[in-house]
């Protein structure tokens, strides 16, 4: 494991837990950030001297600065920050209540990545060591899908933000990595009622993600074959592409059976 000091958000979820276990097993010091204290405590118990647990709202800049203010003096500047926290859910522009879903999704999926990176970026840069900033986006950010506009928009925005940050940090020893998973077997996809080609287990995805970052890949697609399928569909005329997607069941909206929880939704 080339990483010795890691900050990981979304550590409670399927991919997050798989990443945490691999980092801990590799001997890294790990800041475990999430909302489910019990799940985080179980992970920290694997290496109590090398882990710390934090439960902020990742979209709260002050809360994330408090995480950094506790972690940095105790463990030093990280060489890996993975902004993995994210939420998903169906969206219908005609439903006024769904606008709050879009707002919250943008806060967590997009703003939450910037608030995660922000307090660690200068210490990482000033350390003079190599470091990696990893944003977990999605193949859904490559093109909008019917009934999933909020999620697709949040991930498309994240991909573009990471492009900007990558360019800004070229002169430094820090690298920015964009991860675009397809479908992972996690709570976020458990309620999906449509076909999920290439469904990947979280542990397999975690292994490929860390290997890709260690190998210097700036764009990591999980799994690659789903990325190829998505690119191929994108070559179709827009009307035909949309017709194919409209034939699929839509992702459950907040409050519908199978919908995933969106923390902080007001």
User: Cα separation of 174 and 176, whole Å?
Assistant: 7
Quick check: is 151 catalytic? yes
Q: Is residue 183 helix, strand or coil?
A: coil
Superfamily of domain 5-246: NAD(P)-binding Rossmann-like Domain (3.40.50.720)
The stretch 167-195 carries a mean pLDDT of 81
Q: Do residues 72 and 123 lie in contact, with contact meaning Cβ atoms separated by under 8 Å?
A: yes
Summarised one tens digit per residue, pLDDT across range 13-28 is 899 999 999 999 999 9
Count of helix runs (H) and strand runs (E) in the chain: 9, 7
Mean pLDDT rounded to a whole number for the chain: 91
Above 90 in pLDDT, residue 229? no
Q: What's the mean pLDDT in 59-88?
A: 97
Q: Which among 188, 196, 204, 120 has a CA at the least distance from the CA of 154?
A: 188
* Residue 200, pLDDT above cutoff 90: no
Q: What is the pLDDT of residue 51?
A: 98
Catalytic residue among 54, 151, 161, 183: 151
The pLDDT, as a whole number, for residue 193 is: 59
């Amino acid at each position: 494991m080339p990483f010795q000091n890691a900050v990981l958000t979304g550590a409670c979820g399927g991919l997050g837990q798989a990443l945490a276990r691999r980092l801990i097993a590799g001997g890294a010091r790990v800041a475990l950030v999430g909302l489910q204290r019990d799940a985080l405590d179980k992970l920290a118990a694997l290496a109590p001297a090398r882990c710390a647990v934090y439960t902020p709202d990742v979209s709260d800049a002050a809360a994330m600065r408090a995480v950094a203010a506790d972690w940095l003096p105790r463990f030093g500047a990280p060489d890996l920050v993975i902004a993995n926290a994210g939420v998903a859910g169906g969206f219908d522009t005609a439903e006024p209540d769904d606008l709050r879903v879009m707002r919250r999704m943008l806060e967590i999926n997009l703003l939450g990545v910037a608030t995660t990176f922000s307090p660690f970026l200068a210490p990482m840069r000033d350390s003079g060591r190599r470091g990696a900033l990893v944003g977990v986006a999605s193949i859904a950010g490559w093109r909008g899908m019917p009934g999933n506009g909020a999620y697709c928009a949040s991930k498309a925005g994240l991909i573009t933000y990471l492009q900007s940050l990558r360019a800004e940090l070229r002169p430094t020893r820090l690298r920015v990595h964009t991860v675009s998973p397809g479908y992972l077997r996690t709570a976020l996809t458990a309620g999906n009622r449509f076909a999920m080609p290439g469904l990947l287990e979280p542990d397999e995805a975690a292994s490929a993600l860390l290997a890709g970052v260690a190998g210097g890949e700036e764009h990591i697609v999980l799994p690659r074959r789903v990325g190829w399928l998505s690119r191929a569909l994108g070559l179709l005329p827009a009307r035909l592409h949309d017709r194919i997607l409209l034939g699929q069941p839509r992702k459950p909206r907040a409050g519908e059976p199978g919908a995933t929880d969106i923390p902080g939704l007001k």
